[in-house]
Structure 1
Amino acid sequence: MYPNSPQPNSGANSPFLANHEDEIDLKVLIFNYLQYWPLLLIFMFSGLVAAFLFNRYTTPIYKVESSILVADDKPSLGMDLFESSGLGMLQGKNNIENEIGILKSFSLAEEAIEDLGLNVQYFQEEFFKTSQLYGSVPLMVTVDWTQPQLVGGMFKIAVIDEKTFHLTISNDEFSVYSPSDKFFKSLFEEDLSLKEVYSFGEVISGEFYSFKIDLINALPGDEILFRVLDTPSLALQLREELNVAPINKQASILTLSLETPVRRLGQDYINKLMEMYLQRELEEKNKASENTVLFIDQQLSGITDSLRYSENRLQQYRTENRVFNLSQEGAVIFERLQELEKERAQTEVTLKYYKTLQTYLSNNQSTDLVAPSVIGITDPLLNSLVQSLSELQAEQVRLKANFTDQTPVVRENASRVQNAKRALQENVNLASQNTQNVLADLNNRIKMIERDVNSLPQTERNLLGIQRQFTINENIYVYLLQKKAEAEITKAANMPTNSVLDFAKSGQLPVAPKRSLNLLIGMILGLILPIGFITVKDFLNTKIEDPKELEKQIKVPLIGMIGRSTSDEALPVFNNPRSSVTESFRSLRADLAYLSPQKRNLSLLFTSTISGEGKTFVSMNMASVFALMGKKTVLIGLDLRKPRIAQDFNLSNDKGMSTCLSSDISWKDVVKASGYENLDVILSGPIPPNPAELLLQDKFKVIVNEIKEAYDVVVFDCPPVGLVSETKELFGFADVNFYVFRQGYSMKGNSQILNNLVEKGGVTKIYGVFNDLHIDKGYGYGYGYGYGYGYGNNSYGYHEEVQLPWWKRALRRQS
């Protein structure tokens, strides 16, 4: 029995069958792609070749890395208490984040570029690529940045001899850089006129360019490309390309990395950047010492004159009055006064510092502050506030160099500066008031001691006053000199807090292109592109390809599938009885025993939607398989508009069914021998002007009944039901009706026509037949699906086997 024939209790819901069907669907999907295996191989090979060429001619990119150790900030005594007080006047800063910001700052990148002279880039053309030169360049281009310059485009130098060269333009995408507005460049759209030949060392100048080219070691015939880039644009570019990140969340070690096609350039740039970074830190430290020395020098300039005056006066008084030493009583009084006045002098210096600090805060000055500890003020909170304000102001200067005033980070830091100033102002006011109280107390104590001076002789009193003034000035002068020396020693001993752990070094292997990955991507793309094309093609295909898809679409059973004939013969049943196509017709014949049981005479009707779907081929061969059984069979051609049976049997269509219906000629007179035993043919006859009316008359019914009495099997070859109307009336003359579909030819919408015949037209006993099933369209759909089931050689098999492709034979063995 045919595998797809309808049976009672067929077990359609069996899990085993469901799994088997899923397996078949997967195989169909695989075979659908494997039939294009030459195309897949070509595209995969092309993808590998493209990836290989990409790897071969793409400039490799290397990763350059270095590391810096950032020293942790140690808050001053009292600073932690102030920050945790919840007042919000000062906020702790993240030292790592600040150092990352400094390393990625525009100003630092600009300094490194200017120091290295990276504004001119040199290139050399190679096969299919251009390589950048760095270090030992054959030419040196010197640009005059004091006037506008053309940047971005590419110049080409062709060396003629040791003195002259050709200068041309290789890429004219120029912009005009103006030193008056460094961050704005205008497009250069004019034609740049250059002389044909220039001399080395000659200044090449125009309205928007001025540079000279010096020969180093280039040889005649060498061609060098160069490009001029302005410092701000290059600084912004390198700033974006530089990656600075801590090695982990807990560490204070920063890793600097840069991906560049020129390893040495990347190493030099990162090393120079770290050098500038440490130099900047050292300069920031030295500023505090320099400001301290400046403040002390200002104080010394005033006290020096007073000291010199008092010294001269003391010397003159001693000479004139011949008095050199104080009495014992005067010495005791003088010692007490000296101690108090020394303390008062230091207090006055402290008060003067507070006044200077108040003026600084009131006027919103931005110059660097002098630390209180420099002049002997040991208040830890005041020292912490001054240090924090100084750092916040330095951070504000750095941020403004890279962002506008309206940027959130700048506005946030400005708010921190104001909070720090308010906190410092309150502390300074309180400290100044306390210092004034101390100074007043000292003055009172000095006045009390001065009363004892009145008991001394006049000469001694005068000497005591003059020596007292000299000692006061001398103590202040010595004190200031000591602090100045300390500041200068501090400056000389200053070292950067941070340090370089590893200088820049490049990896041995490039990070791009990733050769293995590119080859894999090329192969995958080479596979995906044709698969995608095939998938889209199949998705947009409106033809019926898959038998299972047809089974789901039609409302009647798909009773048979006819494979594609390997020859052009119209009657493979007679001419090639052992072919797989013949076997598929035998299978269909066997199924008829279940479709129309216990019928002595059998009538079959074949139709389709349109011409070309193979209904005539199927009806002819179906009649042939019954004739081979010894059944007396007749094939009737009812397609009166487009007959084909006559030429397939090599007969003349001079008479036939149209002749009987349009005249008094008996049907027996139009029967023709097919040339094969047990098979007769009634052709359609000459094409009449009214085929539909001929077939609908009562005479046709009488003729059909007589033919059924005379033959065991009657096969009707009807016109396409989708094109003509009379076929719908002919379904009632047959015991079993077949609707023929053709793989790769019948439209998917044809299934709806068959469903309408069943649901609306009331046609019964109709089944689907799938014709011209290709060997390369699927796997394992019954006997007619392109391969046999013989035991091996043709001489011993049930029918001839069709040779499968190697990949199908392999999968068939695995299954």
Structure 2
Amino acid sequence: MEELQDFSEKKESSFDLKAELYKYLKYWYWLVIGCLLGLAVAYLYNRYTIPEYATEASMMILSKEDNNVVGALPSGGASVLSLQQNTLDNQIETLKSKRLVEKVVDELDLNVSYFMEGKVIAVEVYKNPPVVIEFLSPEEVVHEATLDIFISPKTKDTYTLTEEDSEYSKVHKYGEPVKLQGVEFTISPSGNEADFSNTVNIKVQPLRNVANDYVYRMSIYPKGEAKDILSLYVVGAVPEKSRDFLNTLMLYFNQDGVADKRQVAENTAAFIQERLEIISGELDSVEGGIADFKKENRIMDVASSAGEYMSKSSQAEQRIFELETQLMILDALKDALTSAKPYRLLPSNMGAAEGGISSLISEYNTLVLERNAYLKTSTPKNPVVEGITEELDALKDNLLDNIESSKRSINIQLRELNQLDRRAEGQFSTFPGLEKGMRSIERQQQIKEQLYLFLLQRREESAISFAATGPVAKVIDPAFTYNNPVDPEPWLILTGGGVIGFIFPLLVIFVINFLDTKVHHKGDLKPLTDHVPFLGEIPKVAGDQNEVIQV
């Protein structure tokens, strides 16, 4: 047992690094060939793989103070027209919304791609393709179409159109209507006949699929100390197409934001105009009542006779005016909510509503804008639209409850103030009843005048806001493309190809040596026979040689 143990220990300690290295280095030419083959494959991959480049743009999200001219008015009237300040996350979601991206894809015709067929790969041609496809079918059909056709020049006036999926192949004249897959179109030369020597592959994809692809490939993240700058990043094989996409996306984002703000301003102006017409009629009626009262009772100067009373009770009456004005505005908001036209924008911050009501109105307007945006591309039966409608109904009920609660609170205050006013009037019980009746009519006149002037001021601010609506964002850097491709990375591919080409022969040699159990020379037995005398070697004659070798 001790001899076997010593023998095992000698076997474990008999590793010869030089001999092991020689097993691999004697096949050095295979290592060199493998490395060269790996480099060659990596070179061909770099050469024939279409590179993709990163394109970036940046824009600053402007606050409402930056772009609202009405904010400079001393009255603070800008609050009635301003939308609730959105967070940066909301702006990012808007930029990545499928609705906005689909508009950009449609504007730039990014759902149609042209490829020039080469010997190995097809290269996309973005701006100046040799031929152009013009659709005769309606837009809604084209936006859902899928086509993959090949255009090969035949003569000066004809071409061969091939579609592999349907095995369609036919000669057509340029400008001749063609109908495939339910889509009618024409093919016309663009004037670049010199470039029209190879086959052109035209691919038409559904608009929604292309938009989804851009949303997936686009990254948006905030930067800057204030985190108010957004960096837009997209990767694509055609840098010019990526630049056009980002620049147009920022343009449409601005236009979309301005349109929303103007829509709120327009609805607010319309609401104010309706109230002005009503208040104007009521004011005319009150003023006519004053004239009739004076004429019937032959009164010329009621103000001088009631001056002392008015000076003592002015503070209480002023508060009554304010509360009654708030009641009228709350009634107007309630009328707007319960009008025959549902889900329309409400005037925001009319100056009388409590903070809770103002925040609910802002939330209601935001949902109305979102619902209207979805209705442009879908129907009211759309699950998303139905969900928004349910939220609007819940908000409407909540608003009505808050309005009723505010009215109850105001009525309680009015009762208390009227009691105080009546006590003050008791001090002047000797005043003729005629004076009291006149004062009541004048109070109604003042309330109507205050509300009328208030609405006139808001109407002017609404007109200024509509005319001077500023952009919601400022472009810091237009889209630009980095020079180095992000995929593939040439040096990384070459390095990886060389390393893999070098390692592969090593693995093959290792497997061969690992599976080799033959004895090739006395060195293979030396670790096992150090204690056994060596007698000699028997040479091996290669091939069919019969030559006798004497030793």
Deviations 1:480-507 (A, max 9, x none): 1112222333444443454332221001
Deviation at 1:209, TM superposition (A): 0.7
Take 1:329 and 1:165, find their aligned partners in 2: how far apart are those partners? 101
Instruction: Describe the shift of the 1:385–1:147 C-alpha distance in structure 2 as closer, same or farther (beyond 3 A).
Output: closer
| Aligned equivalent of 1:475 | 450
Deviation at 1:564, TM superposition (A): 4.7
**Mapping for residues 45-84 of structure 1, pairs under 5 Å:** 45-70=36-61
Q: TM-score, normalised by structure 2?
A: 0.74
Q: Paired residue for 1:244, among 210, 215, 220? A: 220
Amino acid at match of 1:488: A
**Mapping for residues 387-406 of structure 1, pairs under 5 Å:** 387=362
| Aligned equivalent of 2:482 | 507
Deviations 1:504-537 (A, max 9, x none): 1001222222222222222223223333333344
Asked if residue 256 in structure 1 is aligned to residue 232 in structure 2, the reply is yes
Deviations 1:129-162 (A, max 9, x none): 2111222344432333445457444223345677
State which drifts further: 504-513 or 521-530.
521-530
Asked if residue 232 in structure 1 is aligned to residue 208 in structure 2, the reply is yes
Contact 1:354/1:432 (CA < 8 Å) preserved in 2? yes
| Aligned equivalent of 1:155 | 149
Q: Which runs of 5+ in 1 are unaligned?
A: 1-6, 75-92, 173-189, 575-815
| Aligned equivalent of 1:265 | 241
| Aligned equivalent of 2:158 | 165
Deviations 1:668-702 (A, max 9, x none): xxxxxxxxxxxxxxxxxxxxxxxxxxxxxxxxxxx
State which drifts further: 561-570 or 209-218.
561-570
Take 1:299 and 1:516, find their aligned partners in 2: how far apart are those partners? 72
Amino acid at match of 1:157: I
3-state SS of paired residue (1:136): coil
Amino acid at match of 1:517: L
Amino acid at match of 1:130: A
**Mapping for residues 697-708 of structure 1, pairs under 5 Å:** none
Take 1:427 and 1:547, find their aligned partners in 2: how far apart are those partners? 102
Q: Paired residue for 2:26, among 30, 35, 40? A: 35
| Aligned equivalent of 1:103 | 95
Deviation at 1:37, TM superposition (A): 3.3
**Mapping for residues 309-348 of structure 1, pairs under 5 Å:** 309-311=285-287, 325-326=301-302, 328-330=304-306, 344=320, 346-348=322-324
Take 1:558 and 1:368, find their aligned partners in 2: how far apart are those partners? 107
Q: TM-score, normalised by structure 1?
A: 0.52
Deviation at 1:63, TM superposition (A): 0.7
Take 2:472 and 2:216, find their aligned partners in 1: how far apart are those partners? 26
Deviations 1:712-771 (A, max 9, x none): xxxxxxxxxxxxxxxxxxxxxxxxxxxxxxxxxxxxxxxxxxxxxxxxxxxxxxxxxxxx
Asked if residue 126 in structure 1 is aligned to residue 100 in structure 2, the reply is no
Take 2:408 and 2:512, find their aligned partners in 1: how far apart are those partners? 92
**Mapping for residues 662-701 of structure 1, pairs under 5 Å:** none
Contact 2:115/2:123 (CA < 8 Å) preserved in 1? yes
Take 1:65 and 1:424, find their aligned partners in 2: how far apart are those partners? 44
Take 2:488 and 2:352, find their aligned partners in 1: how far apart are those partners? 62
Take 2:244 and 2:86, find their aligned partners in 1: how far apart are those partners? 29
| Aligned equivalent of 2:257 | 281
Q: How many residues align?
A: 519
| Aligned equivalent of 1:112 | 104
Instruction: Describe the shift of the 1:209–1:12 C-alpha distance in structure 2 as closer, same or farther (beyond 3 A).
Output: closer
Amino acid at match of 2:489: K
| Aligned equivalent of 2:191 | 217
Take 1:107 and 1:136, find their aligned partners in 2: how far apart are those partners? 28
Counting aligned pairs with the same residue, the percent is 23
Take 2:508 and 2:463, find their aligned partners in 1: how far apart are those partners? 79
Amino acid at match of 1:562: E
Take 2:398 and 2:529, find their aligned partners in 1: how far apart are those partners? 89
Asked if residue 136 in structure 1 is aligned to residue 110 in structure 2, the reply is no
3-state SS of paired residue (1:534): helix
Take 1:73 and 1:563, find their aligned partners in 2: how far apart are those partners? 98
Asked if residue 296 in structure 1 is aligned to residue 272 in structure 2, the reply is yes
**Mapping for residues 16-27 of structure 1, pairs under 5 Å:** 21-22=14-15, 24=16, 26-27=17-18
Take 2:174 and 2:52, find their aligned partners in 1: how far apart are those partners? 36
Instruction: Give 1 or 2 for the bigger CA radius of gyration.
Output: 1
Take 1:556 and 1:342, find their aligned partners in 2: how far apart are those partners? 122
Amino acid at match of 1:129: I
3-state SS of paired residue (1:196): strand
Amino acid at match of 1:211: F
Deviation at 1:64, TM superposition (A): 0.3
Take 1:257 and 1:421, find their aligned partners in 2: how far apart are those partners? 40
Instruction: Describe the shift of the 1:253–1:573 C-alpha distance in structure 2 as closer, same or farther (beyond 3 A).
Output: farther
Deviation at 1:260, TM superposition (A): 0.8
3-state SS of paired residue (2:477): strand
Deviation at 1:48, TM superposition (A): 1.9
Take 1:420 and 1:147, find their aligned partners in 2: how far apart are those partners? 35
Q: Paired residue for 2:281, among 305, 318, 336? A: 305
Contact 2:345/2:365 (CA < 8 Å) preserved in 1? yes
Contact 1:565/1:572 (CA < 8 Å) preserved in 2? no
Amino acid at match of 1:101: E
Deviations 1:278-303 (A, max 9, x none): 33333444444344333323322322
